[in-house]
Amino acid sequence: MAHSEEDILAGLAEIVNDETGLPADAVQKDKSFTDDLDIDSLSMMTIVTLAEEKFEVRIPDEEVKNLNTVGDAVSFIAQAQA
């Protein structure tokens, strides 16, 4: 069953919290992974890998660099699962 964008955001927030310790409510759609959340390239790959498993989607490596904000990731996952 497809996840709603709200579900995806909540799920991503949980993954980011587990990886970085940032409070889940800091993970908002307008936040930049690198500039606002201070997530480096390896942590980003962890988040992507866990998101792939959680939402049963494939996020190609070459796509990861386009996921600047949390909102970009939510949109990509929402479309990828459709």
Partner 1 sequence: MTKPTLAQPTPVLGSRILAVGGSRGSELVPNDDIVGPINSSDEWIQQRTGIRTRARAATGVTIKDLAVDAANDALDKAGLTGSDLDAVLVSTVTHFEQTPSLATIVTDAIGATPAPAYDVSAACAGYCYGIAQADALVRAGTAENVLVIGVEKMSDFIDPTDRTISFLLGDGAGAAVVGRSDTPGIGPTVWGSDGSQSSVIYQTHSWLDYRREELGEPVPETPETAEEVSQMTTPTLRQLGPTVFKWVISSMPNIARRAVDAAGLQLEDIDVFIPHQANMRITDQLLKLIKFREDIVVGRDIADTGNTSAASIPLATERLLREGQAKGGDIALQIGFGAGLAYAAQVVVLP
CB nearer partner 1, residue 6 or residue 62: 62
Q: How far is the CB of 44 from partner 1 (least distance, A)?
A: 7
In terms of Cβ atoms closer than 10 Å to its own Cβ (0-12, 13-18, 19+), residue 67 is buried
Q: How far is the CB of 81 from partner 1 (least distance, A)?
A: 18
**Amino acid of residue 19:** E
Q: How far is the CB of 43 from partner 1 (least distance, A)?
A: 8
Beta carbons within 8 Å of 78's beta carbon, 6+ residues apart: 2, 3, 5, 8
CB nearer partner 1, residue 46 or residue 75: 46
